[in-house]
Amino acid sequence: MTEETSAEGRIAPIWGVPEGYDALLLAKRAREHKGPVLHIARDDASTARLADMLAYVAEDVETLRFPAWDCLPYDRVSPNPAIVAERVATLTRLLEPSDGRPRLVLTTVSAAVQRVSPRSTFEGQSLTVKQGESLDQAFLIELLIANGYTRTDTVMEAGEFASRGGIFDLFPAGAAEPVRLDLFGDEVENIRAFDPGSQRSTSKQDALTLRPVSEFSLDAASISRFRTGWRDVFGPAAAFRPAV
Residue 163 burial class via C-beta count within 10 angstroms: exposed 0-12, middle 13-18, buried 19 and up? middle
What is the enclosing helix (H) or strand (E) of 169?
A: strand 167-170
User: E-strand spans in 172-239?
Assistant: 179-184, 187-194, 201-205, 207-210
User: E-strand spans in 61-119?
Assistant: 62-66, 103-108
In this prediction the pTM is 0.73
CATH of domain 127-210: 3.30.2060.10
Q: In whole angstroms, what is the distance from residue 219 CA to residue 165 CA? A: 25
Which residues are within 8 A (CB) of 146 and not within 5 positions of it... i.e. 6 or more apart?
A: 217, 218, 219
Architecture of domain 2-121: 3-Layer(aba) Sandwich (3.40)
pLDDT at 244: 46
pLDDT in tens, the chain (244 residues): 555 544 445 566 667 778 878 899 899 989 988 888 999 988 899 999 999 999 998 999 999 999 999 888 777 788 888 888 889 889 988 988 888 899 999 999 999 988 888 887 787 778 889 999 999 999 999 889 888 889 999 999 888 999 998 899 999 877 889 999 999 988 999 999 999 888 888 999 999 888 888 887 766 777 788 788 878 887 776 555 555 4
Q: Which residue ranges make up each domain of the chain? A: 2-121, 127-210
